[in-house]
Structure 1
Amino acid sequence: MTGRHVLSKFGQEIAETVAQIKSNGKRAPHLAAILVGNDGPSQNYVAMKARDCDEVGFNSTVIRMKETISEEKLLDKIAELNADDDIDGFIVQLPLPTHMDENKVILAIDPKKDMDGFCPENVGK
């Protein structure tokens, strides 16, 4: 089942739930995406995810990083998002530049915030 299929089937229900949450004085869910580099399909995918969030009333943030950023700086940003209570979940858009270890990056994501479900604890759930 694709994200677009889920949104078309459950989008209205999700939007109503988010509206109820907000009417009770709580904040809407907030999702983030880290995009490293200028890969066209990745940019399109992340833009689509931000649009999907908007459709159901979620807040979303796209964090753009240069392709030349060090793996260490990316891991620092992941640690920052893991610790940020205002961010409910996030993705690191793949593929990453060749100088980065995608597995190491995925393992740095807190499984509770892993929106792609790539962390070992989430695979198969």
Structure 2
Amino acid sequence: MAGDSAPHPTDQHPQVEAAMDLPVVVDSNDDEIVSHELEQMRSILEEAILETRSTPLENRPRLPRIPLSKRIRAVVRALNPMLVTYLEASQDLCETDSILFGAAVAVFRIIGAKLPMTGRATTQSSAIPA
């Protein structure tokens, strides 16, 4: 019931699709991300955290592991200081979980990785378990 009434994330936040192909420019000398990209990343992070807070735990997608690369490390290093404000204001473990999950979703969006379908439910298999 809740899954049917929940709007699709890109319907609520039109910037999400534009952010999917956000290029991450890494300076070869110090691995820093340029300032205009930091602002875009902050916006994506904020959207993802707000979206995650309003999504029930059972409706959140399972996030697959992504291989660690120089680009992903740069994105994570850029997002970590942004999380401090959210985590300091967190009132409980559930809120902290939502913040961290939102940050993970933001990383997926920034690097352009495909997010799985919303919700943890999988299609029913017709096979009889052993």
- More strand by proportion, 1 or 2? 1
- More helix by proportion, 1 or 2? 2
Q: Report which structure shows greater RCO (CA 8 Å, sep ≥6).
A: 2
TM-score by length of 2: 0.30
TM-score by length of 1: 0.31
Give the greater-gyration-radius structure (CA): 2
